[in-house]
Structure 1
């Protein structure tokens, strides 16, 4: 494999497989065919398996070669991340934090919480990825990140979970809509109107679907959209009503003629939690981030011991 400090090129077995011919693979990599042949031979000797069948008109992967090809992209990505982190350390970056968070956390709370961390922690790099709550849990379990923030109503299995924030869902409607002057509303009373829904795996959409099914009704879903801002824009365009958290409504709807009607339903009151595999096993930098996020929680909402199970 050929590595640079910040990127990883395709390894020779993958190139040879894609080209199906040593000569074309050599031309693509800019080296002699004999060098390609020797490198592949050396790799097979090291692994003690045959990766390719040499055919009269080219070459084909063996079962062992297919296994290598299956794992190569993930392995290369991990190597690239290692190279990037080592480069950052050489440039003075003191640590990395890998975090997964659902859309609510990223839109509503992290923009307020993160600047304080970076103001006090110096040169730290944050790798933050947005995922649905269930995928946040899976990512932490699979060690894709050390810290996750997700909805408390998803199963977190063996992970440790700690209170982070609360929000409440509201129905977003255009000003002048028949629902816009209500102080509160039951979700089932919105089912006679068209809906703009979040993506199908979001916890908000799944909750709303479950609520509709419990009363034997179907949501009149006109469109799925990927985020809260898209919900607001679609509602503003007259495509239907939508569900988003109250804090997201405050952040995203300035200048729009939209109204927010709080839901009465118990499930509309939501808790977000921080999940980790083991707090004692966090890296130093990730533990600093974890402590900062916990300290950002309003004291009136935080559990006495911080642990929510």
Structure 2
């Protein structure tokens, strides 16, 4: 049995499963699944991330949900164009007829957090990419109040009949653990 963990976009992860390069993939619920089977892994809503002391999150110890239309008024640091989070943000902006033009684009979550901590703007990340850094960086986070931001992560696969027994056991273990702990990711 070999476990190979790779950090890919949700689209790349789904493609890896479809092409047989991976048995399982954890990806966002707005990913293009096509014919892939999936199980709900955990809730992982979109949060707005700001430097500490920012007007959107005046009390970082007890943050209140923030409306996307309010957050969109500030300078945005965005994840790369075409990513799942970028797609969600772009769709939300279009529905509200907001003309958003991020002034900085980055490829990695870590780069986004660092630029926000440096005061270069605000951004949007999934909760699991923010929560473990709030005490260690000059950032604050709060959930986006809009319904579109309430999302889940899925475990995608080619269906139970196509999973090896090891892959099925691993998937079942992940699902069991996510149910026990409500999935608190380990962050480095």
Structures share fold, TM-score greater than 0.5: yes
Looking at structure 1, the residues matched to 150 and 181 of structure 2 have their Cα atoms a distance apart, in angstroms, of: 16
1:186 paired residue number: 67
Query: Across the two proteins, how many residue pairs are aligned to each other?
Result: 178
The alignment partner of 2:39 has SS state of: strand
Summarize the alignment of residues 1-309 of structure 1 with structure 2, pairs less than 5 Å apart: 95-96=1-2, 126-181=3-58, 183-298=64-179
Q: Deviation string for 1:21-63 (max 9, x for gaps)? A: xxxxxxxxxxxxxxxxxxxxxxxxxxxxxxxxxxxxxxxxxxx
Question: Structure with the greater relative contact order (CA < 8 A, sep ≥ 6): 1 or 2?
Answer: 2
The SS at the match of 2:5 is strand
The structure whose residues are more often helix, as a share, is 1
Rounded Cα–Cα distance in structure 1 between residues aligned with 2:51 and 2:173? 38
Which segments of 5 or more consecutive residues in structure 2 lack a partner in the other structure? Answer: 183-188
Q: Answer whether contact 2:131 2:141 (CA < 8 A) is retained.
A: no
Distance 1:217 1:278 in 2: 40
Q: CA deviation at 1:297?
A: 2.1
CA RMSD of aligned residues (A): 1.9
Following superposition, the deviation at residue 171 of structure 1 comes to 0.9
For residues 227 and 188 of structure 1, what CA distance do their matches in structure 2 show? 24
Structure 1: runs of 5+ lacking an equivalent:
1-94, 97-125, 302-309
**TM-score w.r.t. structure 1 length?**
0.54
